[in-house]
Amino acid sequence: MLIQSLVEGEQEKKQIEKYKYFKQRSERIVKIYISADMEGISGVATQMQLKKESEYQRFRHLMTADVNAAIEGAFEGGATEVVVCDGHGNMSNILIEELDPRAELISGNNRVMCQLEGLDDSFDGLFLVGYHGREGGSERGVLNHTLAGGCIQEIRWNGCPMGEAEINATVAGFYGVPALLVTGDDVVAEEAGRLIPGIETAVVKAGVDRFAARLMPPQKARSLIREKASAALQKREKISPLAGEVPVTVDMDFSSTNQALMTTTMPGVELIRPKTIRFTAGDCVTAYKWMWAAIIIGMAASQGVLGNVNA
């Protein structure tokens, strides 16, 4: 009887520990960060659709709907908090009144961390929604560019050409946050997949040319995004954060000489060719900030840094 009681007591103890484990797991906060761009949104195929004087207002609704699909999938997959970062153009495209009320939105463009403002090590995963291929990556990439289409020809981190998806996934890795999902065309899905083993991809269009695509109907695309977002959450522990190589040497090829030259006003920035600069940072986040600062200077230099100032 004594042995039986001891065995039963041990079994009861194990059951209690098991209950505590699953209770703690169910109560755990699971935070997802969604960085949203516009060129890879379902239905988008041409640049004019994203211009304010054209169909832009219609495509703001489509962008918000794709983001909502990712939010829904995230919560279905086990997320308890979702933060959305609007990362296209002036970074105030998503319609807050149409956004899933369970999510919070980072909007506006005066940011130190560009498309990743507010990301830190408290998050459990990164979603890249509405993304596109890099400048020069594929002739079929829909609206392909790297951060600033009128400014940047190519960006290389430690010699490797990088698009926005790869760069942002690498920076997230610095915080221990894995990139779990990318949505957009088939080109960005392939580019991200090469760098991030296991990442879920929702391909909502097939690239024909930079200004042409074979589009999936938006309703079908949103169902796919929701499904893939949920699947990404459920396999998050199987996808490792990227361990970026440090230090990070960044080469940036600009479109014009004046853009490149003006960035050398930044300490540590070297002009290595007429249109190419180089700098080295000790970590991925610092590299990202300097890269973004160089782009801001380059964009300002496009028309003369003082613009129409007449002092």
Residue spans of beta strands (DSSP E) within 74-139: 81-86, 103-106, 125-131
Q: Does 37 appear as a known binding residue?
A: yes
Q: Does 61 appear as a known binding residue?
A: no
Closest CA to 252 of 165, 162, 155: 155
Q: Does 132 appear as a known binding residue?
A: yes
Amino acid found at 274 = P
Length of the chain: 311
Phi, psi of 35 (to 5 degrees): -100, 120
Amino acid found at 38 = M
Distance CA 114, CA 168 (A): 10
Distance CA 83, CA 63 (A): 16
Tokens of 135: 């400048």
Q: Would you tell me how many other CB atoms lie within 10 Å of the CB of residue 127?
A: 30
Is there a catalytic annotation at residue 145? yes
Tokens of 289: 């900030």
Residue spans of beta strands (DSSP E) within the chain: 31-36, 81-86, 103-106, 125-131, 152-157, 160-161, 179-185, 200-209, 212-215, 248-254, 270-273, 276-281
Q: How wide is the angle at C-alpha 195 spanned by C-alphas 192 and 199, nearest 5°?
A: 60
The region that residue 304 occupies, defined by phi over 0 for left and psi between -120 and 50 for alpha, beta otherwise, is: left
Q: Does 164 appear as a known binding residue?
A: yes
> Which residue of the set 145, 205, 222, 228 is catalytic?
145
Closest CA to 289 of 269, 303, 304: 269
Q: Does 39 appear as a known binding residue?
A: yes
Active site residues: 145
Residues flagged as binding site for Zn(2+): 37, 39, 88, 132, 164
Which residue ranges are tagged as binding site?
A: 37, 39, 88, 132, 164
